[in-house]
Structure 1
Amino acid sequence: MQKAMQSEAQPEILLQRATGERLERFARLRGKTVEPGEFWDVVVITAVDKNQEVAYQKQLSEKLKRKELPLGVHYHVFVDPPGPKIGNGGSTLHVLQCLEEHYGDKWDSFTVLLIHSGGYSQRLPNASALGKIFTALPFGDPVYQMMDLKLAMYIDFPTHMNSGILITCADDIELYNIGPTEFIRFDQPGFTALAHPSSLAIGTTHGVFVLDPSSHSIERELEYGSCHRFLHKPSIETMRQAGAVHEWYDRQLCPSEGDSTRSTEYVYTDSLFYIDHPTAALLLKFYKQMGTLCCEIDAYGDFLQALGPGATQDYAKNTENVTKKELGLVEIREKIFSLLKGLPLNVVLLNNSKFYHIGTTREYLFHFTNDRNLKLEMGLLPNVFSICQNHAEDLGESACIIHSVLSSRCSVAPGSVVEYSRLGPEVTVGTNSIVSGCCISTKVDVPSNAFITTLSMRIDGKVAYASVVFGIEDNLKKKVAALSEAHFLHFFGVSIGQCLELWGLRVSEQLFSGDKTCLSLWTVRIFPVCSSLSESVQVSLGILNSVQNKSPFKLNGFKLLSVEEILHSKDVEDMLKFRQQLYEEISLQKQKEKEI
């Protein structure tokens, strides 16, 4: 068994080589005009509202101007229609309509990459203002962002794909190795999904493929098969009962949970998937008939569960994994099932592949600072496109500095990430913290396990600033339905009620923005509006320190906003201007170093 996978090189080394080759090939395409058929015809990024659309358009324009992307490609940002949230499934349907409106009948011959980047990134707030797809990664010169990585990792796909749409998300990374003469083909009718071997624990939080037994042998790194049934975030018991669990014959190849523990059992989990053009046209016709969507549809759970000969309509009524149980969801699911029933779900089994998610603060910190596997496979660095004078020994390998300028006497502890920031000589950053978009010139201590990002706003025609601070473990998505339940919200591990007493505030309707029956840390008005970047950081860190030290820090003299309101008033141009200033300073310094 696994004849082709027995190689002198370890699977991790093969993965590293394959990733490096794709990155090098993409680097050669940056700023060059690609030939028809050489790359994607269309690349689409989705946005949840007009504000986000503007932010994405500006960043796309900047990247094209700096020649960081291949040219000759149609890049679009398509914003979800106004009204209720429609989820990434609804957004997919809306994109199909936008493509038809833009290109008429031409789109039926296009290869399209669709990247879902709508949403406010409440689990990784440093991506909330400018988007998960523009998250900086710790490698490249200039720094690669998630968009660059996506385009690099999928560089072979368009030339081995029939017209259709490849659908992916903005906050995950797929790495894979296949034979030197092999390619991943997307040329079958219906749906085709990549499948990655994963532990059973990972399977409980992803989609899991129940394969047709005849399509699975694990003899090569790349295999093609068919899926009998798709399970969405199943329990381990459900996986076993459905026949989704397999066993490794070679313990060296089985997936680990980031440590030395290995299980001989595994399942195949999902990442991206492809829809051929006839299927996309079928979905578009359905969307037009529906008119307006009134609830969130999941492109993975609601589309893929309808596919394969073993699919049943039972999932339509199962709302266990639904964040918000909405009227009409069951009916829409039943209609989708009727529409897609009988269509095949083809699977591309990538037996030497890795799937990484960086959509939460914990994942972000671990993968960028302590994940030795990802560092090896992608060549991640502790210090990338930054000025960090005399920091080689101080930073070590477990802190991460991206696109930043640090004074020689500032200190960043292991396990922390600093991005797009300027830190002065008496700044200290504790362990496992995130500092993003900050300018700190005076003596400041950022505590351990803290998150801080400074956002620019335009209020009454003037630029203002607010620094958003939280604990790394704070749950910004947790909601309560009434003011009397506000004490169930925790800020830096402390009940919000206790925090408010320290800050001289009290629970009231005025304390929260938006829907008063849906209260959260996202909508609580506790962040002061300031006139400068530096002042903003100092004041907001005062909020954190007061909670940590149980000492009063009065906020009743400030104009206070919630994260929700700050993002509504965000000034994208000012934030990008700050990043550009850092870019020019770092580039100038690097040029001087080359000349010496």
Structure 2
Amino acid sequence: MDSLSNVLRDTHSRNLSAYRRLLSDIVSTTPQTNCVFWDIVVVTAGDHQQQVVYERQIDRMLDLKRIPTQAKYHVIEDPPGSKIGSGGSTFLVMAKLSNLYSHDYLSTARVLLIHAGGYSTRLPHVSARADSQDGIQVLDLKLALYLHLLESMPPGVFLTSADGIELFSSKLPFPSEPKPYTITALAHPSSTWIGSTHGVYLLQDPEGRILEDMKLEPKDQSALLLKCQQFLHKPSLDVMQNTPNVIHNHSTIGKNDVVYTDSCYYFDPQTAKIMANTYKSLDAECDLEAWADILCFQDQFSLISTTSTTPSPHSRGRQIVKRAFQESGVELDVMVLNASKFYHLGTMQEFLEGTCTDLPFMAELNIRNRDAGIAIVGSLPPLDSIGGESPNDENKFRSVGATAHIHPPVYIENSSIPSSVSIHPHSIIVDSDLQPDAVVPRDTCIFTLQLQEHEFVTFTFSVKDDMKRAVGTNVRADTILQELKIFERVPITAILPFGNLPPPELTVSGLSLWTAPVFEIARTKQESICLALDRLDRIRRCLAEGEKKSERAVVNVEVGGHAKPMIVGWTSLNVAARRAREY
């Protein structure tokens, strides 16, 4: 590990120690710590089913004393049938809190807002499952992650996302002076390539404080509070190069072309009140993003004019937010954190990298895998596993055969893997008990959902698949199945079981892997897994055409001595996700 990783690991370890002291005080008659904690914790949900699941799991964690009980926890769902996005949800949460609590209380409260609503098509094995990790299983990590910042944070709201992990340190105390009508965003040094996929801050630094701090060792670097001149959302390299002072070239200290990118941000109670009052003006279809559409309020684009052209709900929402902030004099400050890293686990490939192969990330979070590149975890790990290895490690997963052929990186959760199974690299296996001699191709994501008491479906995708990529509307109905691809280049026609007609919904254009009902429903979990392994075998054969077919075939003709499983229905991933949550 380099010196920065060491600093971040030590900081996170201190946060975890403080968090454990908070938890120990729950069961102690004589509390031993004065650790500060959040007054209110809010998790957002995309719909009512997701809200119910999140609330049930938070209640369970509170009953088990796995999260601090001194905070007030809320799960707030988006309005039914709406599409307000994480930005609209932020305004909704502020409105809800203003109705639940008095102005005086909110003026002194510190609120953690975790955006976890909706179903992520980029992490289907997470978002589709009824015990979704995207908002809840990451909750205890998020509660611990910012404790060092909370020590000096004034009252207000700290906003973060469920799929991002921010590690940062500061030698001097974090800026703590309350600043009314101000949004304060955290900024991390990044490459220009990273900047092109995130938000980038144009900072006012006439005294060269950033360079002076960058010259220091990570252990001596401190948070710098600077004014933000402009927020650029996913700027191209040309835009960054042609915008003065966006790129920081510290070639004299061996750091070239650094930009400062977004992650979390804080806003004060007065700004929260503006959001609460503005929410009722937003359209139910505004689809605002909590970063791109909120932090850009300083931009100089014109406000809505009275022309014959009707702006979209999204454009109108951006304008409403901009007007509300500008008329109230809201400013954007940036807390520059040179001793920091931001990790995004928003795609299947990023998920695999973070849990299996990114050694600095794993070291900084004190994550230790028993075997290099192979993560084996349970669906609800013991509390003490959030910062290190659990003493009950053998109980964290169903079973993995000692001689199973597992080629890292591989992520296995709540699954049984017999010794004769072969799992190829870059694969994710969740809630799936594989049968003997099964072969999982490289880049596979396989997971099982229970829809009803006797209805199960096991999905298979490539970790590289674009789940939202839809077949064009100009494609003929009889060729839709041929045009829709799985594992990047395998036609859906190749994965359908022989002799089974596709459901009639497949004649509709615009289908994607997220919406296409091409996955078989079985009566038992094991039968659904058998159908999925057969499907993987057909995919492997299709991918192997024209290449050496050296891999052995998966044998799934019989399950437990019985005939091949009966298909009792078909489903798509988006429908199955809703049904699993309802169940």
Alignment counterpart, residue 506 of structure 2, candidates 498, 511, 524: 511
Q: Match of 2:249? A: 247
Q: Match of 2:465? A: 474
Q: Match of 1:347? A: 334
Matched, 1:566 2:576: yes
| Shift of residue 501, structure 1, vs aligned partner | 6.3
d(CA) in 2 for partners of 1:227 and 1:131? 41
Q: Match of 1:42? A: 40
d(CA) in 1 for partners of 2:88 and 2:252? 42
Within 5 Å, give how 1:292-371 maps onto structure 2.
292-307=283-298, 311-313=299-301, 327-341=312-326, 342-371=329-358
Which consecutive unaligned segments of at least 5 residues does structure 1 have?
1-8, 137-143, 255-263, 318-324, 384-395, 574-596
RMSD: 3.0
Alignment counterpart, residue 25 of structure 1, candidates 3, 11, 18: 18
The answer on whether the counterparts of 1:410 and 1:428 sit within 8 Å (CA) in structure 2 is: yes
d(CA) in 2 for partners of 1:251 and 1:502? 61
Q: Which amino acid aligns with 1:248?
A: H
| Shift of residue 242, structure 1, vs aligned partner | 2.2
The answer on whether the counterparts of 1:313 and 1:334 sit within 8 Å (CA) in structure 2 is: no
Matched, 1:212 2:204: yes
Q: Which amino acid aligns with 1:445?
A: V
d(CA) in 1 for partners of 2:131 and 2:149? 22
The answer on whether the counterparts of 2:531 and 2:565 sit within 8 Å (CA) in structure 1 is: no
d(CA) in 1 for partners of 2:232 and 2:304? 12
d(CA) in 2 for partners of 1:93 and 1:531? 43
SS at match of 2:154: coil
| Shift of residue 349, structure 1, vs aligned partner | 0.5
d(CA) in 2 for partners of 1:125 and 1:504? 28
SS at match of 1:123: coil
Q: Which amino acid aligns with 1:349?
A: V
d(CA) in 1 for partners of 2:59 and 2:442? 36
Matched, 1:491 2:486: yes
Gap change, CA 1:133 and 1:250, over 3 Å in 2? farther
| Shift of residue 502, structure 1, vs aligned partner | 6.2
Gap change, CA 1:238 and 1:505, over 3 Å in 2? farther
Gap change, CA 1:368 and 1:314, over 3 Å in 2? farther
Alignment counterpart, residue 464 of structure 1, candidates 455, 458, 476: 455
- CA offsets, 1:27-57, max 9 Å, x none? 2223534999821001010000111111211
Q: Which amino acid aligns with 1:353?
A: S
Q: Match of 1:436? A: 430
Q: Match of 1:416? A: 410
The answer on whether the counterparts of 1:31 and 1:69 sit within 8 Å (CA) in structure 2 is: no
Q: Which amino acid aligns with 2:15?
A: R
Deviates more, 1:56-65 or 1:360-369: 56-65
The answer on whether the counterparts of 2:84 and 2:284 sit within 8 Å (CA) in structure 1 is: yes
Gap change, CA 1:315 and 1:498, over 3 Å in 2? farther
d(CA) in 1 for partners of 2:518 and 2:418? 26
Q: Match of 2:385? A: none
SS at match of 2:38: coil
d(CA) in 1 for partners of 2:143 and 2:60? 17
| Shift of residue 453, structure 1, vs aligned partner | 0.6
The answer on whether the counterparts of 1:497 and 1:507 sit within 8 Å (CA) in structure 2 is: no
The answer on whether the counterparts of 1:186 and 1:192 sit within 8 Å (CA) in structure 2 is: no
Q: Which amino acid aligns with 1:242?
A: T
Gap change, CA 1:193 and 1:527, over 3 Å in 2? same
SS at match of 2:516: coil
d(CA) in 2 for partners of 1:77 and 1:454? 26
d(CA) in 1 for partners of 2:194 and 2:304? 23
SS at match of 1:185: coil
Q: Match of 1:223? A: 224
Gap change, CA 1:265 and 1:506, over 3 Å in 2? farther
Gap change, CA 1:204 and 1:509, over 3 Å in 2? farther
Gap change, CA 1:441 and 1:62, over 3 Å in 2? farther
% identical equivalent positions: 30
Q: Match of 1:52? A: 50
Alignment counterpart, residue 399 of structure 1, candidates 370, 374, 378: 374
Gap change, CA 1:73 and 1:170, over 3 Å in 2? same
| Shift of residue 415, structure 1, vs aligned partner | 0.7
- CA offsets, 1:120-169, max 9 Å, x none? 12111111134897259xxxxxxx94222211111133332222211110
Gap change, CA 1:334 and 1:503, over 3 Å in 2? farther
d(CA) in 1 for partners of 2:524 and 2:303? 52
The answer on whether the counterparts of 1:505 and 1:556 sit within 8 Å (CA) in structure 2 is: no
Gap change, CA 1:234 and 1:186, over 3 Å in 2? farther
The answer on whether the counterparts of 2:128 and 2:573 sit within 8 Å (CA) in structure 1 is: no
d(CA) in 2 for partners of 1:215 and 1:100? 40
The answer on whether the counterparts of 1:133 and 1:170 sit within 8 Å (CA) in structure 2 is: no
Alignment counterpart, residue 377 of structure 1, candidates 359, 364, 367: 364
Within 5 Å, give how 1:163-202 maps onto structure 2.
163-179=155-171, 181-183=172-174, 185=176, 187-189=178-180, 190-202=182-194
The answer on whether the counterparts of 2:522 and 2:566 sit within 8 Å (CA) in structure 1 is: no
Gap change, CA 1:215 and 1:450, over 3 Å in 2? farther
The answer on whether the counterparts of 1:16 and 1:378 sit within 8 Å (CA) in structure 2 is: yes
SS at match of 2:439: strand
Q: Match of 2:120? A: 121
The answer on whether the counterparts of 1:316 and 1:333 sit within 8 Å (CA) in structure 2 is: no
d(CA) in 1 for partners of 2:155 and 2:132? 24
SS at match of 1:149: helix
Matched, 1:12 2:22: no
d(CA) in 1 for partners of 2:495 and 2:427? 23
Q: Which amino acid aligns with 2:228?
A: C
Gap change, CA 1:414 and 1:284, over 3 Å in 2? same
d(CA) in 1 for partners of 2:363 and 2:146? 20
Q: TM-score, normalised by structure 1?
A: 0.80
SS at match of 1:26: helix
| Shift of residue 506, structure 1, vs aligned partner | 6.2
Gap change, CA 1:509 and 1:39, over 3 Å in 2? same
Q: Match of 1:90? A: 88
Gap change, CA 1:501 and 1:171, over 3 Å in 2? closer
Q: Which amino acid aligns with 1:450?
A: T
| Shift of residue 15, structure 1, vs aligned partner | 1.9
The answer on whether the counterparts of 2:88 and 2:290 sit within 8 Å (CA) in structure 1 is: yes
| Shift of residue 444, structure 1, vs aligned partner | 1.9
